[in-house]
Amino acid sequence: MDRPGLLERLAEGYVLGDGGYLMGLRLRGFVEAGSMTPEVVAKYPQEVRKLTREFKEAGAEVLQTLTFFGTANMLEPAGLGDRAEEINRTACRIAREVAGGDALVAGNLNSPSIVSGDYDPADSAKRKRTRSWLDEQLPWIVDEGVDFLILETFSWLDEALVALELVADAGLERVVTVSMEREGRMTLDGFGPGECAARLVDAGADVVGINCLQRPAEILRSAAAMRKSVGVPICCQPSAWHSWWSNSKSEEPEDFAEFARAGMAAGIGYLGSCCGAGPEHVRAMAEAMGKLD
């Protein structure tokens, strides 16, 4: 019997995602500060496998592939651009191995221009460049048998729409999340949560949401605004720690337990976490959501 897919699970209740891989591995000493690419998959695959297993054992029902920042252009500065396919496929295989027959595997794609910060919706060459980079990465992920795709950490709504158009023919359910970088909870091209959600749904997203950069309480306000704007399920994945936060204190697992309870009360179906959130945060959420015996 086939295991239920993401949309089927969301129709029946709440789904618990995993946590932040790169920041988690950085805190464990396996990723250098400032290096937010999956080169760790090539250097310490056993540590990637270990953390993935810890997320699952903590109660995560979705395991994301560590293909975040995995396009060839992102890996090139580390001298690994020519190993991009190997790294992406290895990351997918690790997630699939750990997921077993019950957890879902989410193929992760994200903004390939986020570090350079030079994306421009009015520049057709920049839009074409994003499409080209992701178009090369996509088959490496899809071919490895992921259960659905999650397009995340798009600070430009326009770039998220470019990515969503690219994956339209992949034959997989699509989760798309944006990140609010501008003051006032807006994307860099000036769209608020509700409008982002509506435009992404109109473009074919099955689940829409918001992730990264913000703490649980503040990011939940954006997710709630999305919930009011569209009829599809909402995904919300807050961060537990970023080094540039003015108050660098990390969020505690208890904060994520409260986030999970508040998220369910607000009707946010897919609740996960992002940078700085480890297995202990996921476990606290799992307990709050009644996912653990």
Domains of the chain and CATH, by start? 6-288 (3.20.20.330)
**CB atoms inside a 10 Å sphere around CB 49:** 18
- Which pLDDT score is estimated for 213? 86
Mind listing the pLDDT tens digit for each residue in 271-293?
Answer: 999 999 999 999 999 999 999 87
- Which pLDDT score is estimated for 293? 72
Q: What is the DSSP letter of 258?
A: H
Strand partners, 175: 150, 207
The residue among 243 and 224 whose pLDDT is bigger is: 224
Mind listing the pLDDT tens digit for each residue in 7-26?
Answer: 999 999 999 999 999 888 98
- Distance in angstroms (rounded) separating the CA atoms of residues 244 and 246: 6
Mind listing the pLDDT tens digit for each residue in 43-101?
Answer: 999 999 999 999 999 999 999 999 999 999 999 988 999 999 999 999 999 999 999 99
- pLDDT at residue 245 above 80? no
- Which pLDDT score is estimated for 105? 98
Tokens of 76: 């090139």
- pLDDT at residue 113 above 70? yes
Tokens of 89: 């496929």
Strand partners, 148: 106, 173
- Which pLDDT score is estimated for 184? 67
Please count the residues of the chain: 293
- Which pLDDT score is estimated for 24? 87
- Which pLDDT score is estimated for 211? 95
Confidence grade of residue 165 (pLDDT, cut at 50, 70, 90): very high
- Which pLDDT score is estimated for 32? 78
- Which pLDDT score is estimated for 34? 66
Half-sphere exposure of 242 (CA within 13 A, CB side): 14
Tokens of 248: 């660098």
Residue among 165, 169, 166, 170 at smallest CA distance from 147? 170
- What are the DSSP calls for 71-100, one per residue? SHHHHGGGT-GGGHHHHHHHHHHHHHHHHT
Mind listing the pLDDT tens digit for each residue in 195-212?
Answer: 999 999 999 999 999 999
Confidence grade of residue 241 (pLDDT, cut at 50, 70, 90): confident
pTM above 0.85, yes or no: yes
- Distance in angstroms (rounded) separating the CA atoms of residues 17 and 9: 12
The backbone torsions φ and ψ at residue 262, rounded to the nearest 5 degrees and listed phi first, read -70, -35
Q: Which residue has the tokens 């986030």?
A: 259
Tokens of 45: 């695959």
Residue among 17, 19, 38 at smallest CA distance from 93? 38
How many Å from the N-terminal Cα to the C-terminal Cα in the chain?
24
Q: Which residue has the tokens 């769209």?
A: 191
- Distance in angstroms (rounded) separating the CA atoms of residues 179 and 163: 15
Tokens of 159: 């770039």
Task: Point out the least confidently predicted range of 2-6, 137-141, 152-156.
Answer: 2-6
Q: Which residue has the tokens 């918001």?
A: 210
- Which pLDDT score is estimated for 1? 44
Positions of E strands within 56-186: 62-64, 104-110, 148-154, 173-178
- Distance in angstroms (rounded) separating the CA atoms of residues 170 and 242: 33
The backbone torsions φ and ψ at residue 64, rounded to the nearest 5 degrees and listed phi first, read -85, 145
